[in-house]
Structure 1
Amino acid sequence: MDVNKYTDLAVMYASEYGLKIVAAIIIFVIGKWIAKKLSILTKAMMLKAKVDHTLSEFTESIVYFALLAMVILASLNALGINTTSFIAVFGAASLAIGLALQGSLANVGAGVLIIIFRPFKLGDFVEAGGALGTVEDITLFSTIISPLDNRTIIVPNSAIIGGNIVNFSQKENRRVDLTFGIGYDDDLRLAKQTLIDLLNADERVLHDPEPFVAVSELGDSSVNFVTRAWVKSADYWDVYFDTIEKVKLTFDEKGISIPYPQMDIHIQKEEN
């Protein structure tokens, strides 16, 4: 009797919930497959429309998890479970998690702004969030910047959005500004013409606008020239360092001195 009783009970539950369990599994499996396909299709359409790759991946993830959440709720509903309470619990949990992860969510929001407004892109040389270097990667939480010495700096996106962003690569051309000093006894006209000739002889220096050389200051121990030359952004640092070296070597050849700061001290003897 007891065996028959449990058997009948098992058959009753199987007949009552078996179909529901099978239906829930089918809904979950098919729904998950559809969610994955739709998210991939969304990313493909965004990439075809030339939307930023990072934004496309972010949208793909959002679409997938949103659809997956709907599939899970539909599966639970097929089992006969009241999903209203789950939605309430999920909402409360989301609020608690949001409060606990305010900083991280701020980085995500800043990352979305960076991706949408694109103040810089991969490969740009920027100064942002206290870091100076080339942008290697942009994620939702942080931006990876590599300085000239090939270190890796991971900057939170909120720090970038919250401060000034200087993009040295956004413009096609940049201006190289340098200052050189000569002694007061040196030939000023010769020094000026030497600087002009050096800039004009460099094929990387653009001639529109033309290089500019002028006396900028009569300093304490030197006459200072300011030089301005426009170059392609990619040539900036090469021209910067090469020009300094060429000026020193050429000034030495022509006998033009580059004085260092000095102070004349006069000692006065007191007569007894």
Structure 2
Amino acid sequence: MEDQIKNSFNLLSEKLLGWFNAFVNNLPNLFIAIIVLVIFYYLSNYAAKLVKRLISKRIHQDSLVNIISKITTILVLAAGLFLALGVLNLSRTLETLIGAAGVSGLVIGLALQGTLSNTFAGIVLSFRKSIELGHWVETNGFSGEVIEISLKNFVVKEADNNMVMIPNKSILENPVKNYSLTSKMRVSFNCGVGYESDLEFVEKLTKETIAKAFPNIENTEQVEFYYQEFGSSSIDFLCRFWIEGDKAIYKLRAINTAIIEIKKAFDKNAINIPFPIRTLQFDNDLSLNNDVKPSE
């Protein structure tokens, strides 16, 4: 019994001594690894601040700026950790960490597929010059001003002051109409005049009225006028012109102004804007007295 205890103690002593010798032999590498970690720690902070300062000029969302700076910090620290493990000759440990990170990343990616898709879509949208805060856009059946581009949702403020939160993934996968990318927009409206009207005079009067109503229209040549069809009660025409504006509300205001001015001009010149009329005509005389006796 005493011999077994003695042998166990000797084995333990040899093991501890071997570990101590290995620690002493690797002590210079340990100091180098610690120095590497410290350097990369401060380097990660500097890189995060630098990235934050650079992207804050382009992205106005604090949540996106913070997440990107944190990702930068993690990447720099991970590079420092792998380098320190390499200095300590822990290649197997390094390979194990990489393999575990790959498996964990796969599991997390499958579990949070929808969330991660919206997150990366939000980052992509934040770097797009074609979509910025304050732009008036139309997408996914909604139209309004871009208020926020977060890591999850694309927030649009509609004309009725309601907030619409659209998943970022839907914005990337569907068309987006941006009214703010150009300083001009085309306005078009339809109208009709009576069949008794002088069509050439109607065209001339409409162009002159639109040109006077909008200061940006220099002459009547900039107003498009096209008769379209012989309607059921009127001859219908289409009028189109350009206005200065980058929001849909400007288009609504322009249509409102055009309709008011056209109505005034037509009334002043006795031009009829007919409404649908249905005429009932009875060609046969109906007898009130029925001489035919019902069959018995």
Q: What whole-Å deviation, never above 9, does each CA across 1:57-77 have from its counterpart, x for those lacking one?
A: 264332123224456778999
1:200 Cα deviation (Å)?
A: 1.1
Q: Which moved more, 1:245-254 or 1:71-80?
A: 71-80
Amino acid at match of 1:61: K
Q: TM-score with structure 1 length normalisation?
A: 0.75
Cα distance change of structure 1 residues 223 and 61 upon mapping to structure 2, 3 Å threshold: farther
Cα distance change of structure 1 residues 95 and 245 upon mapping to structure 2, 3 Å threshold: same
Cα distance change of structure 1 residues 76 and 182 upon mapping to structure 2, 3 Å threshold: same
Q: What whole-Å deviation, never above 9, does each CA across 1:216-257 have from its counterpart, x for those lacking one?
A: 222111111211111112443322221122222333343322
Contact 2:157 2:164 in 1 (8 A): yes
CA–CA distance in 1 between the matches of 2:79 and 2:256? 60
Identity of aligned residues (%): 27
Aligned counterpart for 2:69 among listed residues 60, 64, 69: 60
Q: Which moved more, 1:159-168 or 1:262-271?
A: 262-271
Aligned counterpart for 1:95 among listed residues 106, 110, 130: 106
Cα distance change of structure 1 residues 37 and 220 upon mapping to structure 2, 3 Å threshold: same
1:215 Cα deviation (Å)?
A: 2.0
Question: Which runs of no fewer than 5 residues in structure 1 stay unpaired?
Answer: 1-11
Contact 1:119 1:165 in 2 (8 A): no
CA–CA distance in 2 between the matches of 1:32 and 1:264? 88
CA–CA distance in 2 between the matches of 1:25 and 1:259? 89
CA–CA distance in 2 between the matches of 1:184 and 1:114? 53
Contact 1:199 1:205 in 2 (8 A): no
1:218 and 2:230 are equivalent in the alignment = yes
CA–CA distance in 2 between the matches of 1:110 and 1:265? 62
1:191 and 2:202 are equivalent in the alignment = yes
2:260 is matched with 245
Q: What whole-Å deviation, never above 9, does each CA across 1:165-224 have from its counterpart, x for those lacking one?
A: 212221221111111112223343443233112211124443386112232222111111
CA–CA distance in 1 between the matches of 2:185 and 2:87? 64
Cα distance change of structure 1 residues 169 and 85 upon mapping to structure 2, 3 Å threshold: same
Q: TM-score with structure 2 length normalisation?
A: 0.69
1:171 and 2:186 are equivalent in the alignment = no
Q: Which moved more, 1:77-86 or 1:143-152?
A: 77-86
**What is the aligned-residue RMSD (CA, Å)?**
3.8
Match runs of 1:12-91 below 5 Å? 31-46=40-55, 51-53=58-60, 57=65, 59-70=68-79, 82=93, 84-91=95-102
Contact 1:204 1:231 in 2 (8 A): no
CA–CA distance in 1 between the matches of 2:109 and 2:101? 12
1:264 and 2:295 are equivalent in the alignment = no
Question: Which runs of no fewer than 5 residues in structure 2 stay unpaired?
Answer: 1-15, 288-296
1:108 and 2:123 are equivalent in the alignment = no
SS at match of 2:180: coil
CA–CA distance in 2 between the matches of 1:30 and 1:51? 29
